[in-house]
Amino acid sequence: MAHLLYRLGKFASRRRWWIVSAWLAILLAVGGSAAAFSGTLSNNFTIPGTESQRVLDELRDTMPEAIGGMGTIVFTAPDAAMTDEQQAAVEDALADLEQVEGVESVINPFDISRQLEEGQAGIDEGRAEIEQATTELEAGAVQAAAGQADLDAQRAEFEQSRDLLPPEQAGAIEAQLEEGQAQLDASLAEIEEGRGQLDEGLAEIDLAERTLEASAGIKFVSDDGSAAVASVQFDSQIDAVTPETREAVQVAADAAAEVGVEVNYSKEIVQDISEIFGIAEIVGLLVAVIVLIVMLGTLVAAGLPLLMAIVGVGVGVGVTFALTGVISMSSITPVLALMLGLAVGIDYSLFIVNRHRTQLLRGMDLQESIGRATGTAGNAVLFAGITVIIALAALAVPGLPFLTLLGMSAAGTVAVAVLVALTLTPALLGFMGRKVISRRRWAKAEAESDLNSSHEQLQLEADKLAASGRGWGGFATRKPILTLVAGVAALAVIALPALELRVGLPDGGSEPADSTAFQAYELAGEYFGEGTNGPLLVVANLPATDSDAELSELQLEVADRLAAVDNTAAAVPAGVSDDGRTGIFQVIPTEGPASESTEELVRELRDSAPVIESDTGVLISVTGQTAANIDVSEKLMEAMPLYLGIVVGLSLVLLLLVFRSILVPLIATAGFLLSLLASFGATVAIYQWGWFGDIFGVTNPGPILSFLPIILIGVLFGLAMDYQMFLVSGMREAWVHGGSAKSAVRVGFSHGARVVTAAAIIMVAVFAGFVFSHLTMVRPIGFGLAFGVLIDAFVVRMTLVPAAMYLLGKHAWWLPKWLDRILPDVDVEGAKLAQSVPATTTAASDDVDQVTVKG
């Protein structure tokens, strides 16, 4: 592979116009496709096979109107109850809002309040009428009883005198008595019928009162009249609502602000995920540029890795956006691709540029140096990129669709970054010529030449100093046992909070404190209960009923069962299908959507389903955004051990191939696990516990983003193996070329430390830029990756690994002979290239690959 890349580098340099033109054409084509075919990103995460997703799919057929996206608007009067003028302004604004294209319906809180009041008044009036009718009916019953007594007395008197009366007279009297009895029986029948009607009326009133009481469990206007919450239902799912519709909703509702009403919108209404790059990310890039300038000494050279990263990201993320028109993607998909594309794009190009600069300073011919840098450093870049790509592509293994798209998009962007580094970088190096090195550095090289000190001689002297214990490598290996104990102990302490890791998906409470989404979340919780921010949707399969009253009675019975479950604040029937066989209930938890009690409520509701079905014949299922988020989080945590096992196994196999050692892969993998756990711990401390919340903008600590752990595993694995490769391969090369095992650790470390330090700082800077992203969901990912790279590069790879390698000595490179024979030689550093391709230099070049910076 080194020979192939060597020829590719020279070809790209000679045919640089072709290469540049080809990449420009690709960039334009991808950009045009993204502009023409891109669709809408989503913040909804679903997993086929979960109960919440299955129920939602069924509702699409039975009650499609029930699955439209919902958002809330909170109206508040700052000082006291809303005035009539303010209330009228709010209602006018809601009436206008209902006419907005894309809005299915709007729940006017004052209408609901009036309906409840009118309903209660109607119930009271009806109950009073029934009481009056009952009184009259009972009076009639008393009269009928008295009439019956009189008639019975007359009949008894008639029977006593029947024999004394003429037959005609007796017949007439008997007919009169029978007619009287018939009239009395009719009156009694009317009384009984009236009683039945009154009982039915009373039952209807009781049913209406139960319904009213159940509905009263959800408030829309606060008790003091100073706040009201309106619900907006869209005609499509929330991720499909266009930015234009969201903006129109806000314009309509903002009209209420003209009379002094404060208007705040839930996250579902104001979220804007159309932009994935903000000010904070630019700051991160500026830090990367500063590091490049300091390291490379010239703006031209510093701009090259940055330009390569931009091209790679432009193509990789552009393809992702172009596919959003046909594939539903989460908003985090292009963001992760952007994040990784920038970081690895800069680093991979930097490794090749750094090798090229070193070779030029030795006097190597320009074309030869470009080819040699691509064949050596480029070979390492290719293998390092493959490890990252495999780790990201392995996100498809758990079988979660949105995670698969996430991994494939990021992996594709990294693949483009590798291709750009191996083709466009050498092409532009051909254009830059000697300008890739500053005049000051050239002058220094000439001064060294005038002093009869070749670069190789200076490097050999530096190697001797490194072997003697100079620099960080010497410090880390001077007392290796102490270094290992202290380092592992420190990382273990940082990792301790990971023991309390909880995962979930962000809600309005995760937004910045000054945002309208956070204010709406807080105000809704304050005035109407925390659970109103995350209602659950319970769907019921209802048996056939003979009447509407029987159906309503059944619904209320189920609602009572749901309300009796722990951690439930209210349960209200919210609708029924046209055929009466599917009912939906809104269940309000006692706490917010991200709380542990709400998670427990979802489980208890599902556990109670068999009992409810046995007692009522109604089968219930739980869905809704809150339940779906909980299902997604649980599935991701279930998939994490499998994915971690795959990544660790992959790590051992790859490192076994690269370093031809048993212990080095074990050390590298153990270091990766330490970095991972420390990153988990720090992320939990800040985003779940709220430590340093003011610094990182954590206003409402809560569960960690559910797919953050699995992303950290994949990304940190790939990046950790990058640094492991660039550092430890230098140690192996120094050992193979005859140095003692312990001195080889220090010498090899000194060769790669500078470029790895710069690369790690750049990567941390890029990731850290996302810590303050305008996309709240991205922030913990940016922090986790930045902290993980910082710990892995500087604590694990540059401190603990050298200490462990130094302590093991030659045993670190032990490999059974039988395994050595069957393992392929991947030659990551391209060491064989120097033996088969002579270099054209103006100085001795036999030791070119012995003293180059390992990158």
Q: What was the pLDDT predicted at 844?
A: 33
Domain presence at residue 652:
no
CATH of the domain at 337: 1.20.1640.10
- C-alpha 519/C-alpha 498 separation (Å) is 30
331-340, 348-357, 778-787, 810-819: which is most confident: 778-787
Q: In this structure, are 282 and 405 located in the same domain?
A: yes
pLDDT tens digits for range 374-416: 888 888 788 778 888 888 888 887 777 878 888 888 889 999 9
Domain presence at residue 665:
no
Question: Residues 776-809, buried b or exposed e (16+ Cβ, 10 A)?
Answer: bbbbbbbbbbbbbbbbbbbbbbbbbbbbbbbbbe
- C-alpha 829/C-alpha 658 separation (Å) is 9
Domain presence at residue 329:
yes
* Terminal CA-CA length for the chain: 16
In the block, residue with structure tokens 């969201």: 246
On the 0-12 / 13-18 / 19+ scale of CB atoms within 10 A, 221 is buried
Q: In this structure, are 308 and 182 located in the same domain?
A: no
Q: The tokens of 194 are what?
A: 């009236």
Q: In this structure, are 286 and 434 located in the same domain?
A: yes
pLDDT tens digits for range 101-110: 888 888 888 8
Higher pLDDT: 386 or 215? It is 386
Average pLDDT score, the chain? 81
Tell me the residue type at 201.
Answer: G
Alpha helices in 422-479 (DSSP H): 425-432, 439-450, 455-467, 471-478
Q: What was the pLDDT predicted at 21?
A: 92
Q: What was the pLDDT predicted at 415?
A: 92
Spatial CA neighbour of 347 closest among 421, 296, 433: 421
Helix-then-strand count for the chain, H and E: 31, 10
Higher pLDDT: 128 or 837? It is 128
pLDDT tens digits for range 511-550: 777 788 888 888 888 888 888 888 888 888 888 887 777 8
Domain presence at residue 307:
yes
Q: What was the pLDDT predicted at 31?
A: 85
Tell me the residue type at 238.
Answer: I
Domain with 303 in it: 5-43+276-438
Q: What was the pLDDT predicted at 685?
A: 94
Q: In this structure, are 340 and 193 located in the same domain?
A: no
Q: What was the pLDDT predicted at 231?
A: 87
Q: What was the pLDDT predicted at 745?
A: 85
Higher pLDDT: 332 or 817? It is 817
Domain presence at residue 433:
yes
C-alpha 121, offset from chain centre: 48
Q: What was the pLDDT predicted at 406?
A: 84
Spatial CA neighbour of 766 closest among 308, 344, 388, 384: 344
User: Helix or strand or coil: residue 408?
Assistant: helix
Tell me the residue type at 612.
Answer: I
Q: What was the pLDDT predicted at 453?
A: 52
Q: What was the pLDDT predicted at 853?
A: 31
pLDDT band with cut points at 50, 70 and 90 for residue 850: very low
C-alpha 643, offset from chain centre: 18
Domain presence at residue 515:
no
Domain presence at residue 81:
no
User: Helix or strand or coil: residue 16?
Assistant: helix
Least confident of 185-189, 218-222, 373-377, 734-738: 734-738
Number of structural domains the chain divides into? 2
Of 438, 472, 492, the one marking the end of a domain is 438
Q: In this structure, are 292 and 434 located in the same domain?
A: yes
Say if strands 503-504 and 103-107 run parallel, antiparallel, or are unpaired.
unpaired
- C-alpha 550/C-alpha 552 separation (Å) is 5
Q: In this structure, are 280 and 199 located in the same domain?
A: no
Q: What was the pLDDT predicted at 148?
A: 83
In the block, residue with structure tokens 């960690």: 704
Mean pLDDT of 621-644: 83
CA dist 365 → 164, 831, 832 (Å) = 153, 19, 19
Say if strands 227-234 and 503-504 run parallel, antiparallel, or are unpaired.
unpaired
Of 438, 469, 504, the one marking the end of a domain is 438
pLDDT tens digits for range 233-284: 888 777 677 778 888 889 899 888 888 889 999 888 887 555 555 666 677 6
Q: What was the pLDDT predicted at 677?
A: 94
Q: In this structure, are 374 and 293 located in the same domain?
A: yes
pLDDT tops 70 at residue 446: no
Q: In this structure, are 170 and 293 located in the same domain?
A: no
pLDDT tops 70 at residue 847: no
Task: Give the CA count within 13 Å in the CB-facing half-sphere of 635.
Answer: 22
pLDDT tops 70 at residue 23: yes
Q: What was the pLDDT predicted at 846?
A: 34
Could you count the other beta carbons within 10 Å of the beta carbon of residue 818?
8
User: Helix or strand or coil: residue 485?
Assistant: helix
Of 149, 179, 207, the one marking the end of a domain is 207
- C-alpha 784/C-alpha 165 separation (Å) is 113
Higher pLDDT: 14 or 837? It is 14
Q: In this structure, are 336 and 420 located in the same domain?
A: yes
- C-alpha 521/C-alpha 511 separation (Å) is 9
Q: What was the pLDDT predicted at 502?
A: 87
Domain presence at residue 809:
no
Task: For 523-567, list the strands marked E by DSSP.
Answer: 536-541
Mean pLDDT of 482-511: 88
Least confident of 216-220, 746-750, 756-760: 216-220
pLDDT tops 70 at residue 833: no
Higher pLDDT: 725 or 485? It is 485
In the block, residue with structure tokens 């569960």: 703
Mean pLDDT of 500-510: 80
pTM check: above 0.85: no
Angle between helices 332-361 and 778-790 (to 10 degrees): 30
* Backbone φ/ψ region at 704: left (φ over 0), alpha (ψ -120 to 50), beta: beta
Q: What was the pLDDT predicted at 458?
A: 60
- C-alpha 655/C-alpha 669 separation (Å) is 9
Q: What was the pLDDT predicted at 849?
A: 34
pLDDT tops 50 at residue 665: yes
pLDDT tops 70 at residue 837: no
Q: What was the pLDDT predicted at 433?
A: 82
